[in-house]
């Protein structure tokens, strides 16, 4: 899910109606290890900047709850106590974990937040010249199994029942942060904006001129080519999972950094999956799951949810669109 897969086109205008004016303001900042771009439509630049800062604080707060890289977070505490004891977590962390397990059940394990415990035997930095042995691949996922994530809703605890387990939210965390920042800003009275969380995008309202937000979906196979232009008014989201930026090519076959948690092997059938709907967290979960499941099983899953549209590019360069011009 990369920022480069989308291009956002907005028109910056200043309207004055008697004493009322609006501005559109954007700020780019590094958060959650990625580039976030926050754009707001506001009555003035001062309030716009204040609300952008509140959105940044919200995202930083989320990161300090769910990051598996920061040792003081609740998720790090859960990981540190794998096989030892349950850890009490905030309701927000509990519910996000519950949503992740819902995706795991839905996708029959293609989506699994415990995959962060996988041995790093695949290299996507250009140094890998041959695929790992079958034994190494099999051993790499011995600590991966979402069914060993035990939730206690009464006590709001998470317990990883096997030592060596870990969980992490790299697959849906940025989409979740975009959703939460969008919700906060709307509660603060901000009428329109875009949260672009490294390509996981949440929008609400319209551009300053009243026209829909226009988001171009770039073709990863052809530089500069757009395969769709999405027009968003109101609450909408779009995310992409793909193998076009982080991958290894061995014997003329491309191996994606998106790995099947059950097998330990990278996905190879699809190049990218873009999902469009009302919620970036859900779009994240769907796009990751479809990438792992492959075309037939992925379509069978996502078409149960007709409110979510998709653009899929297969390894044979076929482009499938669901009700998207």
Give tens-digit pLDDT for 229-273: 999 999 999 999 998 888 888 988 888 899 999 999 999 899 999
Give the per-residue pLDDT at 8.
55
* Start-end of CATH 1.10.3980.10 domains in the chain: 74-160
* Start-end of CATH 3.10.520.10 domains in the chain: 3-66+172-321
State yes or no: pLDDT of 39 exceeds 50. yes
Give the per-residue pLDDT at 4.
46
Q: Return the minimum-mean-pLDDT range out of 20-24, 214-218, 290-294, 317-321.
A: 20-24
Q: Return the minimum-mean-pLDDT range out of 14-23, 51-60, 101-110, 261-270.
A: 14-23
Give the per-residue pLDDT at 220.
87
CATH 3.10.520.10 fits 3-66+172-321, yes or no: yes
Percent of the chain past pLDDT 90, that is, above it, reads 83
Q: Reduce the DSSP state of residue 298 to 3 states and report it.
A: helix
More reliable by pLDDT, 256 or 64:
64
Give the per-residue pLDDT at 7.
58
> Residues 139-163: what's their mean pLDDT?
98
Q: Return the minimum-mean-pLDDT range out of 244-258, 268-282, 289-303.
A: 244-258
State yes or no: pLDDT of 306 exceeds 50. yes
Residues present in the chain in total: 325
Contact 120, 141 (CB under 8 A): no
Burial class of residue 283 (count of CB atoms within 10 Å of its CB; 0-12, 13-18, 19+): buried
> Residues 290-313: what's their mean pLDDT?
97
Q: Which CATH number applies to 74-160?
A: 1.10.3980.10
Q: Which residue has the tokens 């291009």?
A: 7
Give residue-wise pLDDT tens across range 5-34.
Answer: 665 544 333 333 333 468 999 999 999 999
The Cα 74–Cα 91 span in angstroms is: 11
Give the per-residue pLDDT at 158.
98
Q: Following DSSP, what letter does each residue of 70-126 receive, concatenated?
A: STTSHHHHHHHTTTT--EE--HHHHHHHHHHHHHHHHTTTSS-GGGGGS------SS
Percent of the chain past pLDDT 70, that is, above it, reads 94
Give the per-residue pLDDT at 6.
64
> Residues 108-123: what's their mean pLDDT?
96
Q: Is residue 325 very low, low, confident or very high in pLDDT (cuts 50, 70, 90)?
A: confident
Give residue-wise pLDDT tens across range 66-98.
Answer: 999 999 999 999 999 999 999 999 999 999 999
The Cα 219–Cα 244 span in angstroms is: 10
Give the per-residue pLDDT at 13.
35
Q: Which residues contact 289 (CB under 8 A, 6 or more apart)?
A: 103, 106, 107, 110, 111, 298, 301, 302
Give the per-residue pLDDT at 222.
85
Q: What is the pTM of this model?
A: 0.91
């Amino acid at each position: 899910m990369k920022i480069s897969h989308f291009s956002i086109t907005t028109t910056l205008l200043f309207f004055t109606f008697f004493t009322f004016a609006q501005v559109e303001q954007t700020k780019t900042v590094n958060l959650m290890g990625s580039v976030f771009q926050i754009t707001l439509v506001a009555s003035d630049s001062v309030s716009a900047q204040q609300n952008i800062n509140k959105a940044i604080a919200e995202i930083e707060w989320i990161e300090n709850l769910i990051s598996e890289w920061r040792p003081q977070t609740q998720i790090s505490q859960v990981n540190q106590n794998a096989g030892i004891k349950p850890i009490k977590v905030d309701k927000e962390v509990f519910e996000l974990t519950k949503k992740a397990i819902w995706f795991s059940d839905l996708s029959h394990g293609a989506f699994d937040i415990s995959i962060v415990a996988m041995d790093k035997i695949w290299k996507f930095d250009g140094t890998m010249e041959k695929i790992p042995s079958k034994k190494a691949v099999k051993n790499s996922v011995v600590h991966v199994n979402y069914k060993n994530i035990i939730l206690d809703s009464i006590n709001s605890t998470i317990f990883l029942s096997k030592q060596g387990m870990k969980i992490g939210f790299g697959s849906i965390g940025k989409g979740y942060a975009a959703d939460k920042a969008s919700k906060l800003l709307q509660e603060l009275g901000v009428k329109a904006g875009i949260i672009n969380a490294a390509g996981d995008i949440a929008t609400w309202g319209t551009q300053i001129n009243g026209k829909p937000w226009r988001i171009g979906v770039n073709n990863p196979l052809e530089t500069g080519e757009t395969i769709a232009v999405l027009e968003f008014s109101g609450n909408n989201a779009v995310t992409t999972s793909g193998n076009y930026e982080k991958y290894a090519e061995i014997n003329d076959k491309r191996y994606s950094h998106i790995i099947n948690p059950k097998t330990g092997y990278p996905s190879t059938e699809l190049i990218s999956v873009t999902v469009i709907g009302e919620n970036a967290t859900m779009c994240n979960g769907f796009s990751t799951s479809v990438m792992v499941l492959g075309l037939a099983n992925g379509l069978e899953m996502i078409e149960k949810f007709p409110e979510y549209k998709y653009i899929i590019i297969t390894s044979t360069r076929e482009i499938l669109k669901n009700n998207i011009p």
